[in-house]
Amino acid sequence: MTHRVEDALGLDPEQHELLESYCGSRLPVAIALYEHQLQRRIRLEFVCGPEVELAQDVEELLFRAYTLSRQIHLTFESGRDRALCLQMVYGVIAGIFKELDRSAVTGRESCTRMRYLEKACSRTESYFARASQRRAQLRYLGGMLGGLTAVAAVGVLLSIGLDTLPDIDDQAPMFLASLIAGGMGAVLSVLFGMTSGKLKLHTLFANAESGMGPLVAAGALRPLLGGLSGIVAYVLLQAAIVPIDVPEGASGTNFVIALAIVAGFSERWARGVLAGTEERLVAAPAPAAPAPKVS
């Protein structure tokens, strides 16, 4: 049985700089945390010989740590989060191998530190979840900046289209203001969520299951959705469907802009307004049919 990690894992010392390693003294187990010189990435490799007998709880923990290491490898290309996560996983797997080696020497079948190693693996999983959320939120924010560009494009098209409609061609500035205010409300909502720690993106977006494209696209849609919600709120006010008295003059303009910001800020509020509008329209009595003409 080899006692060199490089031989056990097939690592080339000229291309792989060992950061931490462990090689079993009694069992064919080895693990290495190293930096690939060409890729400039920290990687984790380990081997456990087929003749090593593992208890079910040990095997489950080893598989759990291995799965987490692959998720880390696919989620973080480089950087501090990748290095720290892999170091934590290394500690778990190396701890398992050391316990197996110790049990082989002492003749005991149970690993005394398994509960501690399970807690260490849970802490690693928690840190990975937080780190992947931070990464996803930054990409989501980048997509939102692109979404603001989409809002501006929609505003230009909206202004052109309103000029062709009768009776409301003079309302194009308010439509545009509502669109922009709704988009800014959406951005404000996301920024509040990020600073307060309440913004939690779906696991499919945060982990390696989704690439950058879907995450950026989801972020770009957020201000666009907020802008459209602002326009809907303005249209409902102008149509007198929502029973709210709008002040006159500058106060009325500021009132509409503030309402559009709230509509973009709170998706729940905007959905509530639309649901209430639908209920009022359904409950409204049908217009009476015109009386027949008597010739």
* CA angle in degrees (0–180, nearest 5) for 224-265-232: 60
Q: Which residues contact 113 (CB under 8 A, 6 or more apart)?
A: 95, 99
Higher pLDDT, 121 or 151: 121
| Average pLDDT of span 195-220 | 69
Q: How confident is the model at residue 68 (pLDDT cuts 50, 70, 90)?
A: very high
- Strands 16-23, 29-36: pairing is antiparallel
Ramachandran angles phi, psi of 27, nearest 5°: -120, 150
Q: How far is CA 106 from CA 27, 58, 64, in A?
A: 13, 18, 26
pLDDT value at residue 163: 67
Residues 76-106 as b or e (16 or more Cβ within 10 Å = b): beeeebbbbbbebbbbbbbbbbbbbbebbee
Cα separation, 51 vs 260, in Å, equals 67
| Residues 29-47: tens digit of each pLDDT | 899 998 887 778 899 999 8
Segment 121-137 mean pLDDT: 89
The pLDDT tens digits of the residues spanning 181-205 come to 888 888 888 888 877 777 777 655 5
Q: What is the pLDDT of residue 295?
A: 47
In this predicted structure, the answer to whether residue 249 has a pLDDT above a threshold of 70 is: yes
The stretch 257-279 carries a mean pLDDT of 81
What is the C-alpha R_g of the chain? 30
Average predicted confidence (pLDDT) for the chain: 81
Q: What is the DSSP string of 151-174?
A: HHHHHHHHHHHHTTSSS-GGGHHH
Encoded tokens for 48: 């456990």
What global pTM score does this model have? Answer: 0.72
Share of the chain above pLDDT 90, in %: 14
Residue carrying the six token digits 């505003």:
155
- Residue that the structure tokens 């959905």 belong to: 271
Distance CA 233, CA 112 (A): 63
